[in-house]
Amino acid sequence: MVEVRDIVKRYGDHVAVDHLSFRVEKGQIYGFLGPNGAGKSTTMNIITGYLASNEGTVLINGHDILEEPEEAKKCVGYLPEQPPLYMDMTVLECLNFAAELKGVQRSERDEMIQDIMEMLSLEDVKDRLVKNLSKGYRQRVGLGQALVGNPEILILDEPTVGLDPKQIIEIRSLIKDLSKEHTVILSSHILSEVSALCDQILIISKGKLVACDTPQNLSSQMQGNSTLQLSVLDPEHKIEGVFAQKFEGAIHVQGAWEQDVWSGTLQVDGMDDIRAELFYLLAEEDCPILELSQSRMSLEDIFLELTEAEQEVHNESDL
C-alpha cells in the first residue's frame, strides 16, 4: 500500500508537483495519466525516494520513505523513464547486479533471473552488451531489473514506450498478470492503454490531481450529459412546444427551423437513453425524423477537457 500525503516539489519558482495526495490499495493497477511535464515522473521519483519532496510525506507499507528508506525501498521495484542500465555490462550481468543490490539470496538468484528472462523473452540476448541493444530491449531489461527481488509494489514510468506493437500487447498482459500479486503504478500518455489496463486512473495536470476514479466511473460521470443531434421535418413549427410539454425542462433544447426542417441538439441529464421514446413521440406528432445521432464524451475528451480546463485557469492567473 502506498500513501502519498500532500506532496509538493518545487524547482526554483516552478512548482512541478502541487499538493498531490492519493492512496494506492493492494493488488490493483493504478494509471498515472497526464500531458508532458505534468509531473508524473517527478511524483514517481518522490515515491521511490530518488527525490525528496519539499512538503508532504510518502508512506510505503507504513514506512516513511525518508525516515525508514531501506524498509520502504525493499517493497518497491522501479522502472524509471530512462532505464538505469550500465552500458558496459551484459543483460545477465545487469540482472545479477540488480539482484545482488536488492539483497536477493545467492541460492535464489539464478532461478529468479531465469524466470524473469523467460517472462520478458530476454534469453536470446542475455550475453549481449546493453549498449548494443535496441531501445525496446533496453526497456525490457529495465523492467527485468524492477521485477528482480519480487517486490510487492511495482512503479513503472511509461513501461511500453519504445516497444513494438506485439511487445506492447505482451507487456500489457504481463502487467495484468503481475497485478494479481503486486500493486502496480504505471504512467502513460496513452489513454487507451491506461483505460484498458488500470483499475484506477489518476489524471494529473500541472502537478495537480484533477481526477481519480475507475475508468467506468470517469466515463459515466462525464457521459452523464449525453447530447442528441436531431433533424425533424416539422412544417407546423410545433416541435419545441411538444418537447417542452413532454419533458418539462428535463432536457435542454436548442435549435432552429430552416423552412420545414428543425435541426438542433437535445442535452439530456442522466444516463437515460430517450432515443426510442423520441421516435414514438415524433411519430405520433407526425414529424418524421430525418436524422438522429447520439454523441458521448470519450475518455479522450474527458482527459482533454480536464487537463485543458486546468490550463485555462492557469492562463487566466498568468494575465
Partner 1 sequence: MKAIYKREVAGYFRSMTGYVFLFFIFLIVGIYFYAYNLLNGYPSMNVTFNSITFVFLLAVPVLTMRVLSEERRHKTDQLLLTAPVSVAKIVLGKFLALLTVYMIPIGVICLYPLIMRVFGKVSFAQNYTAILGFFLLGAANIAVGLFISSLTENTIIAAVLTFVVMFLSYIMSGLESFLPSSMSDGILYHVMEACNVDGHFQSFVDGTFEVTAVVYFLSVMVVFVFLTMQSIKKRRWS
**Contact residues: partner 1, CB under 8 A:** 45, 48-52, 54, 69-71, 73-74, 76, 78, 80, 82, 84-89, 97-98, 100-103, 145
Q: Which stretch of DSSP H or E encloses residue 14?
A: strand 14-24
Q: Which does 217 bind (CB under 5 to 8 A by kind): Mg ion, ligand ATP, partner 1, none?
A: none
* CB neighbourhood size of 57 (10 A): 14
Q: 36: which DSSP letter?
A: T
Query: Burial, 53: exposed, middle or buried (Cβ in 10 Å; 0-12, 13-18, 19+)?
Result: buried
Q: Which one of the spans 29-37, 55-63, 109-117, 135-143 is the region binding ligand ATP (CB under 6 A)?
A: 29-37
Residue selected from 2, 4, 7, 16 as contacting ligand ATP according to rule CB under 6 A: 16
In the block, cell 511500453 appears at 160
Of 58, 36, 62, 37, the closest CA to residue 49 belongs to 58
| Helix axis angle, 106-119 to 91-101, nearest 10° | 130
Residue selected from 4, 20, 33, 34 as contacting ligand ATP according to rule CB under 6 A: 34
Q: Which does 42 bind (CB under 5 to 8 A by kind): ligand ATP, partner 1, Mg ion, none?
A: ligand ATP
Taking the C-alpha atoms of residue 27 and residue 160, their distance in angstroms, rounded to an integer, is 20
Binding to Mg ion (CB under 5 A) within 54-83 occurs at: 81
Q: Does 41 bind Mg ion (CB under 5 A)?
A: yes
Amino acid letter, 108: E
Q: Which does 200 bind (CB under 5 to 8 A by kind): Mg ion, partner 1, ligand ATP, none?
A: none
Task: List interacting residues with ligand ATP (CB under 6 A).
Answer: 11, 14, 16, 34, 36-42, 81, 189
Task: List interacting residues with Mg ion (CB under 5 A).
Answer: 40-41, 81
